[in-house]
Structure 1
């Protein structure tokens, strides 16, 4: 198990990295503005769960294999970019719907769908996998017999703080979005903003290299 100083150092570094502007928190911000707090919290939880998959990949050596295979990296990168683009197109299409057909919350919009969106958007991003492959071992004692357990514990800490940080972003942005959506002409622009953010992230992922 990691000792207390290591855990505190890891937590502080993780908080800084999570708060820094990046693809996941931008997605949560835009989605919460357009779809409300509930949807934003679902996406935030999904992104955090997606991080855990990358941590497990790093622990099992899958991320190292991905880093060594340009073809596998490119295929997964393309899949991630296409998925983000699909989310962006969906948001832009939502902006064209009549107000009474634009679902923001309620039973018709299932929370687990937003969780799944966040999970997939994070899990199919190979750059996140390589980030954890480079980041996590810095806080693990490789000579200890429980190195894999250390990775899992640190991963759980990372996921927990991600839920808290992204959850705060979702609640804040959702509150602002709710106030803005009281004006009928503003709601479509929130959807357009979310669509533009998703499409920009898709383009950035598709055109970036593994070390950028």
Structure 2
């Protein structure tokens, strides 16, 4: 009985989310405040920066992957520095490309017709998942 209750509650919630998504098509949203948007973007940048800087996986990657490419003769620090700078340059180039691509898709996704289509499709899909969940037989 508990499984059935949770299943039907989840199905109703999915249907509710679908209906809310479809109803939002008719509601017009107010433009966002530019000062608040700027502060929000700045906080996202800082959050991303501190997440990347404090990520131990990068240090583990460099300490486990790079030593196999070091020459036994020569300055190890200079070799590590060169590989790190090359890696940084490749990463910067990749992120510039990535940001350009995201900006292109952002402009496309902000079009009202595309936004409405996404809202409509997601609403129908959520309602479909809710109906499918409600009609499934217990395993």
Scaled by the length of structure 2, what TM-score is found?
A: 0.50
Scaled by the length of structure 1, what TM-score is found?
A: 0.34
